[in-house]
Amino acid sequence: MTDTWHLSAVASLVENLDKRLLVALRDGSNIIGTLRSFDQFANIVLESAVERIIVGKMFSDIPLGLYIVRGENVVLMGDVGANGDLDGTEGLIEVDNAEIIRAREADQTAEAMKGDILKRMDFLDE
């Protein structure tokens, strides 16, 4: 093994094999899973994957199973639990899957309404 091999960022993902990883995707979702495999494009295989949704002070993990993520959609990957014993949910309340989805929808509706009111007020500019 050469020095360049050790310096390679993708290759160093080998240290994360079999560990729980947080993977942020380009669509804004956050997946947590056990890293079982990867390649030079950062395509990855996650076992026992969950999507972690956080809305305000609530969170919920939605089970996804085995996930193969295409590398180009990966924004970043980080160890979960590398920060002492924190897993990132401290101070958050765990709710069930249905509730977090309702909460997220309510959040999105509120945002959309804001935009809608704006649109209706557009005529004021004329």
Partner 1 sequence: MSAAEEDAAVREPLDLIRLALDEKVYVKLRGDREARGRLHAYDQHLNMILGDVEEVITSTETDEETFEEFTKTTKRSVPFLFIRGDAVTLVSPPLRS
Partner 2 sequence: MSPSRVVPLTFARGAIEKIAKSRSRRADVKSTRVLDVALFYSYFKTLVGKPVTVELKNDLAIAGTLVSVDQYLNIKLENTRVTDEARYPHMRSVRNCFIRGSVVRYVQLPEAAVDVDILHDATRREARGA
Residues 96-115 that bind partner 1 (CB under 8 A): 114
Torsion, Cα of 126, 113, 30, 81 (10° steps):
110
Residues 29-88 that bind partner 2 (CB under 8 A): 30, 36-40, 42, 45, 47, 52, 54, 66, 71-72, 74-83, 86-88
Find which of partner 2, partner 1, none residue 118 binds, CB within 5 to 8 Å per kind: partner 1
For partner 1, the binding residue among 40, 117, 123, 126 (CB under 8 A) is 117
76 binds partner 1 (CB under 8 A): no
121 binds partner 1 (CB under 8 A): yes
Find which of partner 1, partner 2, none residue 108 binds, CB within 5 to 8 Å per kind: none
Q: Which residues bind partner 1 (CB under 8 A)?
A: 114, 117-118, 121
